Structure 1
Amino acid sequence: MDKKSLQSEISSYMGKLLRDNFGKGPTSIYVSIKEPFLTVYIRDFLGPMERVLINQERTDRVEEMRDLLMQELIPEIKAALWVMAEIDVQELYYDWTLENRSGMIVGVYGDRENDTEALEDYHGKEKVHREIEHVSKQAEKLPEQVDSFFLNERTLLIERNGILVAIEKELIRSGFEEKLKLAKRHLEKGLLDLSAFENILGTKVRDAFVDWDFNLDRSYFIFVVDPVTV
């Protein structure tokens, strides 16, 4: 199956999965595949009950419910990607921007270290890394490693490794992983100065997402931008 057909099949599958499990499907889904990453960008996705909770200023409750449901769906998503395309996803990340009614799912598969070496550099990469390091230092500490890649003309993925501090590791061991993740999302997104990234990249940042794998001490920021030449 060619890449375009595969992206369309994954998009259809994800739309049905979200509709069946959340009660409402998104208006549009954009799938991008560039080894070792697969991204699923979700637009216009907000259920009636979620809208009520947001109007009552209970966005934390919406995020917590979505996280719990996604944890249940991860094994199914991984199995489906293997059946459809023999894509063996080892890591899966997700986040939502409720005010934009959007979401992002990122799968990591294949030979991550060797495949990322083949991804091209882009203008302003080092400046982007400095901005991310600044945010990380304010929120927790400087990452041990930062790298970033344009997966297509609209999707910038930024990887951080080695960012957890001792108190966060203890909270995770004590069973507060979900509360920590929600707090870190709000904190780090609040610290992002999107205008600084727009000045570096020379384009508008339309959406920003972040998620962590606490076991791996790894995190990804994903920016959705107006098209740029990559």
Structure 2
Amino acid sequence: MNQTIIQYQQQIASYAGKLFRDHFGKGPESAVVSIGSKYITVYFRNFLTPSERVLLEQDHEMIVDQMRETLLQTMIPEFASYIEIVTGVKPQEFYYDWSLHNKSGMLIAICPEPIPGGQDVNQDYAGKAELEQEIVNISHQAQKVPEEIVSFEINPRTILIIRNGILVRIEKELIRLGHSELLKSVKRNLEKSYLHNNISFEGILKKRVVDAFVDWKFDSDSSVIVLVLNPAK
């Protein structure tokens, strides 16, 4: 990895921590940035505010989800502008998710072109075909088989999976009627139960799965899944 990309990662990680502190009143213990081709992931750990902790203790997880969704939507434009200042490329799409029980979260930025100086993603990682088939199986259980699925390693610790064409007709109708927020909450809980309880991933990848994240863009009928791995299984 060249020095420019390392510098980008450090600058973006530092700014992400500042954004969280500014918007939530508390920042994550760490933010790990990975850059591959036109993809940027920010994995933040040990992040839970005192007010969120109280709400979770009172079983108000949905309120925490709604608060985070609102705050992250306000953060994204600032974050996108900063990434453009640092790298010269402005992200086109953002996805995000969190794992409250792990106190962790993930931001994914997809740019219209590769980050200058960035390395290519690994599209031929070990276990690729088997992993994609397992994701197809999960998608089929939760909604329907994707019309398209693409996956790659950004680095040995981060696998990004992109699915297109996964919404069923009833979901599209709920979105049309203005129930996108409720639909996302239901889909997040359902799919993450499949992702977190999947016993096949580690056997396929020969690595321990530390975290799994998923998000959707309903207007483009697309979704991303990120698996965070520990290579030293």
Structure-2-length-normalised TM-score: 0.93
Residue of structure 1 aligned with 2:109, choices 91, 107, 110 = 107
Structure-1-length-normalised TM-score: 0.94
Specify the code of the residue in structure 1 equivalent to 2:177. S
Partners of 2:228 and 2:121 in 1: CA distance: 21
Task: State the 1:110 CA deviation.
Answer: 2.8
Question: Is 1:200 matched with 2:190?
Answer: no
RMSD: 1.9
2:16 is matched with 14
Residue of structure 2 aligned with 1:222, choices 217, 220, 226 = 226
Partners of 1:118 and 1:210 in 2: CA distance: 19
Specify the code of the residue in structure 2 equivalent to 1:20. D
1:228–1:144 CA distance, 2 compared to 1 (3 A): farther
Question: Is 1:131 matched with 2:138?
Answer: no
1:166 is matched with 169
Unaligned runs of 5+ in 2: none
Partners of 1:45 and 1:164 in 2: CA distance: 31
Partners of 1:118 and 1:204 in 2: CA distance: 20
1:6–1:63 CA distance, 2 compared to 1 (3 A): same
Query: Is residue 18–residue 27 contact of structure 2 (8 Å, CA) maintained in 1?
Result: yes
Task: State the 1:119 CA deviation.
Answer: 3.8
Partners of 1:85 and 1:105 in 2: CA distance: 17
Task: State the 1:215 CA deviation.
Answer: 1.0
1:61 is matched with 63
Query: Is residue 121–residue 152 contact of structure 2 (8 Å, CA) maintained in 1?
Result: no
Q: For structure 1, which segment, 94-103 or 173-182, has the greater mean C-alpha deviation from structure 2 after superposition?
A: 173-182
Query: Is residue 35–residue 110 contact of structure 1 (8 Å, CA) maintained in 2?
Result: no
Query: Is residue 158–residue 221 contact of structure 1 (8 Å, CA) maintained in 2?
Result: yes
Residue of structure 2 aligned with 1:147, choices 145, 150, 166 = 150
Unaligned runs of 5+ in 1: none
